[in-house]
Structure 1
């Protein structure tokens, strides 16, 4: 059995940030990282963004996070199958046992799959560097790629690979690309970028069944139409990987329930990242699947593993870049809420506020407006004192 003072289950950006957070306080305590991935922690957003659009964005310098700098030991390509909270050990898929003093669960999420289509070299759930390397091979060969889902991943991947010479068909259940997030005019402008770049759109459609062979993939849509492609990228979001925590008897709701210090029911086990349901100081109980949260929450979890006992008080932002459009946002960005738009140039530069039925701001979208997320957080923190007529001009580019 190998023992670690600090053991991290999961090898994503949370793991890297946590290892560095530990080292801010404890420079010597042994750190172990057990990951199902075959690569050390890397900057996951690059897989759908910069690696497709910036030829100078190198893996070693910009994507690999070089977590080995922390002195952590890695067990890659390895799954943890159970936690023994009494013995303070975890068991892995290869039958090995590892002890811990403090444990961090950072298991992330599992991509939602298409019915009847298991992941393969032609069907990519697109979550890992292995998926990126395979899709790069296909795109460089000018393949026809069907992208299923108009999510962050779906739209970014469709944008990235069509700009790299592949033929792309985007299948989206929304009637307009981005229609669940953006006001109508903005969603139309967003969609037009895909049209202008030659992406074939199949809108208001879902995949009802599919099959794959050595020759390619065939998707049948819910209207009976068929899409034949060399490969499929599935961008239907993730399910938080909470089974390990639940099986260990930890409280799980939408995610693994943690305190303001990211501690679970067990005073030796913390959770962070995609799986953590935590109390946000501004927005209340939530679970966040974005990189800013992974980095900031991971760092705080690491510090608290090393006995810092500090509150996680960061309200995370999220962002996306598609063609020549980009945004940053804080809070809820959904057309289920009422948008109040404040444009400097319509659909090009401006701010959209999202209000609930009480006219309280619950989300702020900064469209081609940069470095204003702190101001957006301030709006959300003071939302109860703001009326809709006070919003225009509150945040300016």
Structure 2
């Protein structure tokens, strides 16, 4: 319809003849190729130094208003031990199994003296033991406290509120069943189903906002085996995050490699020529290496969020190279500038619009989402640069050497 109304001309090569630059050479081809290869070599050397962001706190958004209010809460808060945070929980089938689990955890704590990650272990049975020997030991200790608080000559005449409470609490002379434990004490040891004293809490001695420390704590506390050979598995949000991080580190390289292999196989199937397929992959490979070089130079890190961008770059970043190589294959040697003025402009606009889409993430206040946008824009930008700058320079260099590939794909 547009052709019939003369609003658009779709004649082959329309407008190209008037430009008179179809035989124009690509200037500075040799320096561009050499400079690009130097950058590739530098990327191969520095790429292993690109670090993973283990500090989860750096990926969390800052809530200024919340932080200001939290300061007021901290000033009036009289909470418990600040060191005991983010515990991992082990749920037993019965309350009788809990002491064995506690002992297994403590044995692991005693064995790990080099880099301990477990601060303490706690259970209701620690305060109100079930075994006769443990109960007798506990009652003996209470008797000592009772005698000290009432008979000691220095404390005998003291009548402070704290000491009076201690004297009343020390009057216990018989074991207390778990169902008679005061609600205020047993609340934290009760499940949502109402089961009392059937789990163990393991407190970390390290800050779990650091992924490496979180993994270390998961390895120490995640699986506990008692003396009778029974294995228990702990659970908590921090352990789940550590497992996800270990899974990501273990599978991400294979995920990226698998994606690249599939892309390379599609290129080979499309061009049916190893050389043409290799040329189509040049912008992708070179662009990815340049991206890693830029990341190392500016201190950008791979993290839990932006890792998913790599497969996207492998898929989208290859588009420019495919279109450029197809057009060059159709036009043949000597038409390099025609390829740049037509297909080069098209893939540039297509990639730029995609970069704008990912660039929307740069406006997010969430650091994790921002890192996704940064890596996507950077990766697409370097692959586009490799397609419209490095690849044409490589073609010109091959033409000057008389080794340019032909449409038949035999050279």
With normalisation by structure 1, the TM-score equals 0.20
Which of 1 and 2 has higher RCO (CA within 8 Å, sep 6+)?
2
Q: Which has the higher helix share?
A: 2
Q: Which has the higher strand share?
A: 1
With normalisation by structure 2, the TM-score equals 0.19
